[in-house]
Chain A
Amino acid sequence: MTVTVKIPAQLRGATGGEDELEVEGATVGEALDAVFDQHDGLRQRITEDGGLRRFVNVYVSGEDIRFKDGLETELDDGDEVQILPAVAGG
């Protein structure tokens, strides 16, 4: 599957300023790994012990992946994977 991963402003220092990346991946985890392959600095910023850090939210087409299968959530061609900070609101 070819999907678009949207990078929040706070992480663009690690992507050379790019705000979205097109990558291949059958699941969210695979898509993120593909992003990390291109920009290794991102991996340590948002992951810890193989999982996402606790203040990182990931959405597929607007839906929080924790309501789906987390990093195992399957992707369709053209899906939009969005990384956002989890520290807003309230």
Chain B
Amino acid sequence: MALEGLRCKECGAAYALDARYVCEECFGPLEVAYDHSGLDPDEARRRIQAGSAGIWRYADFLPFAERPPSWRHSLEPGLTPLVRADRLARELGLGEVWIKNDAANPTHSFKDRVVTVAITKARELGFDTVACASTGNLANAVAAHAAACSLRSFVFVPADLEEQKLLATSVYGTRLVGIRGSYDDVNRLCTELCEARPWAFVNVNLRPYYAEGSKTLAYETIEQLGWQLPDRIVCPIASGSLFTRIGRAIREWIELGLVEGRVPTFNGAQAAGCSPVAEAFSHGWDACRPQRPDTIAKSLAIGDPADGPYALDLARRTGGGVDSVSDEEIRAGIRLLAETTGIFTETAGGVTVAALARLAERRAIDPTERVVVCITGEGLKTLDATRDSFAIAEIDPTIEAFEVEVEATSPLPVGAR
């Protein structure tokens, strides 16, 4: 296995493997190109299975030519549970549904995957300072991973972010900067700062490497399904990076013979209050029109998604789609997942479950399909979405009070048998 370099996704121009993300010929995005010629799929699977219990087991498919152990810092994300969700499936009239619970990562979201790869690359390239533009989960991950490997960090977020996400960033000792504006304003500022500071912005100048980390979510899912593919993947879309890299990872492994079958149907999930990809999908556009986000799903509130065109292409090519759901459906989605699976997700997960419910409702999913739902973050980070959604039975400490006021009014769980 060899790394070829960076390559423009639009025009194919080649670049060295350094801190760059834009093609100078056509302004297109760069991605990492590999040469896997001569790869023996059985040997590749054995190497994976003999690897560590985290994303580095997929090191042959990550952008590093050499990986001295010292570069691997200690948080070791990945190998999160893939949980069969039969009660959720029954509730929605579906056959086989699996939850990939990426809230079970060190900082409780899938962002630990991308940040681990980006920060390892930052160290390899000799940076002493890392930074990011974040809607919250990335902020947590960059701050934590920078602390874990003694790098200085600057984390830029919209100032109106959820308090939980601000706390779970600042605790790691980063320099947290709240910008008066939307995520897209934060992103523009970071794009400008990236030119003026010799720092590794994980999702700007290191974005080609960062994006590679998302592939590990797909690799794990395939491995956890016994080296099989799902028929359908339902995944949230913010910038579209995760969504499209899951697609890329699956294509890569099919082409290399690590798994057999066809690329699954890809369904994207967005919040109605920030749905540039869903809007473009429904209008048949091949690019997104930017929006000004207004949704409780702040982790998905990217009005100008960098990978929008590619996300549209993936959804169309696989016969899938992109749905957008209301804030009310998001809250209901959080609750449905929690009540039927025991998994408490943040608003982005509520968006994803609500999109699954939409697909089920319009019978877009055949009951014989195996569906994997990507739950990307943790419910404790977006408590406002569930606040006031429940009642506590407050009673006197007597058995009679319990029997009359609680037991008599307590139904069996949703979907229970």
* Residue A86 CB within 8 A of the other chain: yes
* Residue A66 CB within 8 A of the other chain: yes
* Residue B241 CB within 8 A of the other chain: yes
* Residue B115 CB within 8 A of the other chain: no
Asked whether B302 lies within 8 Å of A90 as measured between CB atoms, the reply is yes
Write the chain B residue with the least CB distance to A19.
B195
Complex A-B, nearest 5 residue pairs according to Cβ-Cβ distance, in ascending order: A90-B239, A87-B29, A89-B187, A85-B22, A88-B204
Name 5 interchain pairs, CB-CB below 8 A, sorted by A: A8-B22, A10-B24, A13-B24, A64-B184, A86-B306
Contacts of B10 in A (CB 8 A): 55
Measured between alpha carbons, how far is A64 from B188 in the docked complex, in Å?
10
Contacts of A62 in B (CB 8 A): 185, 188
* Residue A73 CB within 8 A of the other chain: no
Interface string of B71-111 (1 = CB under 8 A from A): 00000000000000000000000000000000000000000
Write the chain B residue with the least CB distance to A52.
B27
Residues of A5-41 contacting chain B, CB below 8 A: 8-11, 13
With A54-B287, A56-B27, A59-B188 as known contacts, state yes or no: A90 contacts B22, CB within 8 Å.
Answer: no
* Secondary structure dominating the interface of B: loop
Contacts of B27 in A (CB 8 A): 10-11, 45-46, 53, 55-56, 85-87
- Output the least CB separation between B388 and chain A (Å): 31
Asked whether A57 lies within 8 Å of B28 as measured between CB atoms, the reply is no
Asked whether A53 lies within 8 Å of B26 as measured between CB atoms, the reply is yes
Measured between alpha carbons, how far is A59 from B185 in the docked complex, in Å?
11
Measured between alpha carbons, how far is A89 from B156 in the docked complex, in Å?
11
With A54-B287, A84-B192 as known contacts, state yes or no: A90 contacts B24, CB within 8 Å.
Answer: no
Residues of B bordering A, CB below 8 Å? 10, 20-29, 133, 183-185, 187-188, 190-192, 194-195, 201, 203-204, 207, 238-241, 286-287, 289-290, 292, 302, 304-307, 309
* Secondary structure dominating the interface of A: mixed
Measured between alpha carbons, how far is A46 from B10 in the docked complex, in Å?
12
Asked whether A88 lies within 8 Å of B26 as measured between CB atoms, the reply is no
Asked whether A89 lies within 8 Å of B306 as measured between CB atoms, the reply is yes
- Output the least CB separation between B275 and chain A (Å): 15
Contacts of A64 in B (CB 8 A): 184, 290, 304
Contacts of B239 in A (CB 8 A): 89-90
Measured between alpha carbons, how far is A56 from B306 in the docked complex, in Å?
10
Asked whether A90 lies within 8 Å of B306 as measured between CB atoms, the reply is yes
Interface string of A72-90 (1 = CB under 8 A from B): 0000000000001111111
- Output the least CB separation between A84 and chain B (Å): 5
Residues of A bordering B, CB below 8 Å? 8-11, 13, 45-46, 53-57, 59, 62, 64, 66-67, 84-90
Write the chain A residue with the least CB distance to B239.
A90
Contacts of A86 in B (CB 8 A): 27, 304, 306
- Output the least CB separation between B261 and chain A (Å): 28
Asked whether A88 lies within 8 Å of B133 as measured between CB atoms, the reply is yes
Contacts of A10 in B (CB 8 A): 20, 22-24, 27
Measured between alpha carbons, how far is A67 from B293 in the docked complex, in Å?
13
- Output the least CB separation between A89 and chain B (Å): 4
Asked whether A88 lies within 8 Å of B290 as measured between CB atoms, the reply is no
Asked whether B188 lies within 8 Å of A84 as measured between CB atoms, the reply is yes
- A56, A84, A85, A90: the one contacting B307 at CB < 8 Å is A90
- Output the least CB separation between B316 and chain A (Å): 16
Other 10 A-B pairs with CB < 8 A, given A86-B304, A88-B190:
A13-B24, A45-B24, A53-B27, A55-B29, A64-B184, A88-B133, A89-B133, A89-B184, A90-B240, A90-B307
Contacts of B292 in A (CB 8 A): 67
Measured between alpha carbons, how far is A59 from B29 in the docked complex, in Å?
19
